[in-house]
Amino acid sequence: MAAESVVKYCRDLPKVELHAHLNTSFSPESLQALVQRKAATNKDCLDWKMTIEDFREMDHSFNVFKLIHKVVDDEEAVYQLTCAVIREFAADNVKYLELRSTPKDIPSTGMTRELYVQTMIRAIHDCQTENLDITVYLLLSIDRRNGVEIAQKTVDLAEKFSKQPDSVVVGIDFSGDPAVGDAADYIAVFQSAKQKGLKVAAHLAELANFRETLAVLRQAPPDRIGHGTFLHRYDPGQGHEEIEDIVLDKRIPIEACLTSNLKTKTVTTLSEHHFNFWFQKNHPVVICTDGKGVFTSTLSEEYAHAAGTFNFSKKDLWDLSLAAIDVIFAPDTVKQKLREQWKQAYPQVV
Ligand SMILES: CNc1ncnc2c1ncn2[C@@H]1O[C@H](COP(=O)(O)O)[C@@H](O)[C@H]1O
């Protein structure tokens, strides 16, 4: 396929986005609007924006996230950003979005964790009245820098919201700086989430954290793995082979974020990206953005990168986007609806 037709095809393809952090998924326009709003009370905002736009590398990324959090620190900002992100994904032909975000207590603006979740849910419901062709669900993120106590509170909050009528909260995400803390400390939290009927998506093996990865996989295997960059990159003979075996045996789907891993330098080139390792094994692996604002620009672009790197045909890309439906966290009725949508789109797209 010629490069131009790949981009158009990937844009027209109906898609599923399963790994998008709210605060890293802004567009240049939504970031500008949020910064402008904040700049009315804090001129430093304009410098923060330049640093955010200049993002590079893993160490730097977590400093950049702190700046975004200063811009998105009150109810109105969380609401505006959630609506903008949903509309932007819908405009990119994303038909199903599982958005994730870390509920935050920010006393200076009156924000509480509960209000944060309520605000995102309000935005999701309001977008449903706009006739956007997108279904949105929500995962509450646990930031591994904040400790086990807050993690458990996040699980309890997720359970509470998941029980409400027409709930869009389907599970939790485990994320945060992979160089900080120990994922194994959170095993009881993951188990508690499962007992409460919540799905668990966990950032695992984003760095070469083999011991914690193995402990989590043995005792509380997640329903999906974020990144998984080092799941298969162990040194032989060190007892880490079991990691790959568990992931394969349990068929734990992997959320692959191509450009993000390249930018944070956990992979050297796209052709060496672990997406291909799992894809070749016929293991469930889904192309995701991570955060379309910080790491890339659209999910279509990520599909186009995959096509260019791994020489995918139109049909390969179609099969990839269709297979992503199998591993969404929404109920089976939603899966059926999406498969029907894909079936109807097929003659026009492929
Ligand atoms: C580079 N790879 C990554 N690895 C781990 N965690 C990441 C991440 N990218 C983002 N986050 C997590 O998402 C938060 C921002 O969105 P929310 O405020 O929750 O919407 C970050 O603070 C971090 O905890």
In tens, the pLDDT along 248-285 reads: 999 999 999 999 999 999 999 999 999 999 999 999 99
Is residue 172 within 8 A of residue 161, CB to CB? The reply is no
Catalytic residues: 206
Write the pLDDT tens digit of every residue in 108-132.
999 999 999 999 999 999 999 999 9
Residue 256 sits at φ, ψ, to 5 deg, of: -100, 125
pLDDT exceeds 90 at position 25: yes
Helical H segments across 169-298, by residue range: 187-195, 210-219, 241-249, 258-263, 274-280
Is residue 273 within 8 A of residue 258, CB to CB? The reply is yes
CA of 178 to the centre of ligand 1 (A): 10
pLDDT reported for residue 61: 84
Q: Which pLDDT band holds residue 168 (cuts at 50, 70, 90)?
A: very high
Across the chain, where does the E strand assignment appear? 15-21, 94-101, 135-143, 169-175, 199-204, 224-227, 254-256, 285-287
Given its phi and psi angles, is residue 197 left (phi above 0), alpha (psi -120 to 50 degrees) or beta?
left
Examine the predicted complex and report whether its ipTM is higher than 0.90: yes
Pocket flag, ligand 1, residue 24 (CB < 6 Å): yes
CA of 6 to the centre of ligand 1 (A): 30
Pocket flag, ligand 1, residue 101 (CB < 6 Å): yes
pLDDT reported for residue 108: 96
Q: Which two tokens stand for residue 114?
A: 């509960």
pTM: 0.97
Share of the chain above pLDDT 90, in %: 88
Residue 134 sits at φ, ψ, to 5 deg, of: -150, 140
What are the contacts of 147-150 at 24+ separation with CB within 8 A?
Answer: 147/181, 148/185, 148/186, 148/188, 148/189
pLDDT reported for residue 58: 73
What DSSP character marks residue 232? Answer: T
Q: Which of 23, 69, 99, 119 should be mutated for ligand 1, with most atoms under 8 A from CB?
A: 23
Q: Which residue's CA is the nearest one to ligand 1's atom 10?
A: 21
Write the pLDDT tens digit of every residue in 296-337.
889 999 999 999 999 999 999 999 999 999 999 999 999 999
Pocket flag, ligand 1, residue 61 (CB < 6 Å): yes
- 166: amino acid identity, one letter: D
Q: Which residue's CA is the nearest one to ligand 1's atom 3?
A: 176
Write the pLDDT tens digit of every residue in 47-88.
888 888 877 677 778 888 999 999 999 999 999 999 999 999
Q: Which two tokens stand for residue 282?
A: 């016929």
Average pLDDT, rounded, for the chain = 95
Pocket flag, ligand 1, residue 9 (CB < 6 Å): no
SS3 180: coil
